[in-house]
Structure 1
Amino acid sequence: MNATIAKFGHPATLIREYAHWVVLLRPAQPTLGSLVLAAKSDATGFGALPPEAHAELATITADIESVLTAAVGYDRINYLMLMMVDPHVHFHVIPRYDGTRERGGIDLPDRGWPKPPDLGSAIPLDDRQIADWTAWLKEVWPA
């Protein structure tokens, strides 16, 4: 695993591992169910990934959208490839909704709706919450 994956809390945040990618719970949640989809490669450019990694995205994005539809009931979904601080290929996956969602006593309004997500208002999760929310999403993830 590369340093970007480690920075986002792997292995504690790991929800699902694929051949070329990992899906992680985003440790700071701008909206309920926010994830990080990270390439396992050391590539720092999207085009530098092998064709098989690109092809695998079709399965992974279908899984993500199915799980987050059931778990969060989002209205839109944003895949943000920012890579300004963390150089390895990764997306921030932000489910978007009008209003607020709640999990474990934490209210998570989409403060940016309907404009770009407000990543600065993300709520950091503690270790217990990370374990709980990761388990919650693993339970509904396709086999």
Structure 2
Amino acid sequence: MNETIAKFGHPATLIADYAHWVVLLRPAQPTLGALVLAAKSDATAFGDLPAAAHAELKTVTAAIEAALRQAVGYAKINYLMLMMVDPHVHFHVLPRYDGERSGAGITVADAGWPGQPDLGQAVKLDESQIAALTGWLKPYFA
């Protein structure tokens, strides 16, 4: 695992583990079910990932979209590859919707809908909320 994965709270935030990728709960939730899809590689450029990681992305994104569709009922989904602060290859995965969504006792409004996501309005989770939301989302990936 690389430093970016650790920064996003692994292993407490781990939702799904693949050969080349991990799916983590995003500790700050701009929308309910926001995730981090992080490459296990030490690569800092998307094009530097091994071919097998790119191939596996099809499987992982299909699983993410199916799980979040069931859990959150999103209208759109955004994959943001910013990598400005955390250098290793990763995406912020944001389910987008009009209004609010609730799960595991946590309610989050999509403050940016229908425009760009408003990351500054993210709900910052404490350890117990991270555990609850991670536990709530994991079964959707089974």
Band of TM-score, shorter chain: over 0.9
Q: Which runs of 5+ in 1 are unaligned?
A: none
Matched, 1:114 2:123: no
In the alignment, residue 101 of structure 2 is paired with which amino acid? R
Q: Distance in 2 between matches of 1:77 and 1:104?
A: 21
Pairwise CA RMSD = 0.8
- TM-score, length basis structure 1: 0.97
Letter in 1 for 2:114: P
Partner of 1:138: 138
| Partner deviation per Cα, 1:31-89 (whole Å, 9 max, x = no partner) | 00000000000000000000000000000000000000000000000000000000000
**TM-score normalised over the length of structure 2:** 0.97
Structure 2 residue aligned with 1:55: 55
Question: Which secondary structure does the structure 2 equivalent of 1:38 belong to?
Answer: strand
**Percent of paired sites with the same residue:** 72
Structure 2: state its 5+ residue gaps.
Answer: none
> Which runs of 4 or more aligned residues in structure 1 lie more than 4 Å from their structure 2 counterparts after TM superposition?
none
1:102 Cα deviation from its structure 2 partner? 1.7
Query: What does residue 14 of structure 2 align with?
Result: 14
Aligned ranges 1:72-91 → 2 under 5 Å: 72-91=72-91
Bigger CA drift: 132-141 or 48-57?
132-141
> In the aligned structure 2, how far is the partner of 1:83 from the partner of 1:21?
16
Tell me how far 1:132 sits from its aligned partner: 1.0
What is the count of residue pairs matched by the alignment? 142
- Supply the distance in 1 between the matched residues of 2:115 and 2:28 (Cα, whole angstroms): 19
**CA displacement at 1:104 relative to structure 2:** 3.8
Letter matched to residue 43 of structure 2: A
